[in-house]
Structure 1
Amino acid sequence: DPDSRAIALQTGELDLIQGAEGEISPGTFVRLRDAGFNTAISAPLATRTVAMNTGQAPTNELVVRQAINQAVDKDTIIAKVLHGLEPRADALFSSNMPYANIGLKALPYDPDHARQALDAAGWKIPAGKTVREKDGQPLSTELVFLGTSALQKSLAEIIQGELAKVGIEVKLRAEEEGSLVQRQREGRFGMIFADTWGAPYDPHSFVSSMRYPGHADYMAQRGLPMKDAIDHEIAEVLGQTDEGKRAEGYREILTTLHDQAVYLPVSYLTAISVSAKGVDNVQFGSTLFDVPFEAMRPATGKP
């Protein structure tokens, strides 16, 4: 477990802790860094994101999805929960991923604008209440997260608190992994954590999965009026051999999903490394799962 790993490193039982699967908490990483251990953070490898269900009210409304994006202070989340170890995500894929460097800009953090947009769309806060309503229906949605993940729980609670400030009620539902996967497949969620897969799967395999009902992304996108066109464009781009046309196809797909605010990108996932003084030439691989041990060596220089 994360605490045991940290203790083992401090006592000399371990020389290296490295990975992107929560091997230690962000807070422990900072503590070990401050204690003098060698630390490093990789370039972005995937995206930590929340998918919103466009086929289910109230997240079927674009203005609601946009308001959610504008009401969540991602910089504070990164500073307070992730201890600055992951850069803020402004789009579904980081610009260092293939075909993703297309200049997409996130909606700015602006809760006042979110409130104004919701007011204009008919979502008003009745006297004596804190949750917006329209046509007698509350502006309420459910955020599903993995119950065994302390990090997802913390993120979910902060998102819940941020959205409450603009009159959106978020009900949190913790699920064990099997139930969470089933909810993804059946589209039984208002919002759900749906991180991208990272290299080598981003963008090709991840985008391909958007066409199949067994994935959260298909279910999140199913309410879009242009969903059939998106799926057709995905099929075209995956079979495209012309590099320029493939790049343009990805630009259209990613721009459409971005403009439709299907996702709330939070941060770009990174791998962390903490090592003792006796380890030299520590490096990161190109995926979430690679640890290039072959490049590392004892600090003495001996093989």
Structure 2
Amino acid sequence: MGVKVDIVSGFLGAGKTTLIKKIIDDAFKREKVAIIENEFGEVSIDGEILKDRNIDIKEINSGCICCSLSGDFKDSIEDIIDEYNPDRIIVEPSGIAKLSDVLKGCKEIRIKDSITINHIFTVIDISNLDMYKEEFKEFYIDQVMNAKTIIFTRIDKCDDNEIEEAVEEIRKININASIVKVPLDIMDGLDILRIAEKDLNNIQEKKIVKLTSRSKKAAKAVRVGSKIFDSWGEETSKIFNINKIENIFTKIGITKECGNILRGKGFIELDSGRWIEFHYTPRQFQLKAAVKQDKGKIAIIGENIDKDKLELLFR
């Protein structure tokens, strides 16, 4: 039957890694799973988050997958199949990769008869949907248009009207995808896969909502220009005060003097001796406890980044 390839796409910080952890823990425990994780940036973070699953992770740090289709990405899949022989490969593209290019890369793999493109998820933080549409229209349209299943995250920050408006926006682009609009923390990974496979008979109605469009309008292809993203990152032995790290990202979000920062993530040690994992997206900053690391890691992604100013902020 060959190797199944699942793609978990979505914009920066939308919750792709959270979804992957859930479906691995709940649905793929008996399968041999490999992850190809594409880190855009100078310092890899998500590999640290996923490594405790005892799953092989091959990271590509040379840029987004859409820039690596002729080399690293296809080679990584071929190498994993040859060396590891998994039942399933999960591809987590960078949040600034075009889903259409990732799909194209999968289809061009030399051993394509041995793989089957299975689930195609796009994860959308609907609290930032307006920002996606206005500032990153090309990536937003591409990721929605090519998905088979759309997962809404951070719906707790939106009321029912805002959620339904988000559904209407998605349906203007993709009339066929299943939409999951229930918080991931109350969803079982098996239920998510059943929605993706449209096997609704095995799911409690109150737990999920599957929407089908009644609109007869077809999605229109939109041709837009490309944006250029940049990254800055470092490994550090510096110990931080929790107030300082919060103030850094408050300043990043308000002043824009370091550029248009779209994503920040990392692990740092606090002066209390604890380690924390941090995640920043526009309008949101989260901290949570982390296990001790060999070194702190900081990764920043955005447009027109001033790397010198970032280095001063984190000094």
Does the pair score TM above 0.5? Answer: no
Q: TM-score, with normalisation over the residues of structure 1?
A: 0.28
Over alpha carbons, which structure has the higher Rg? 1
Q: Looking at both structures, which has the greater relative contact order when contacts are Cα pairs under 8 Å and sequence separation is at least 6?
A: 1
Q: TM-score, with normalisation over the residues of structure 2?
A: 0.27
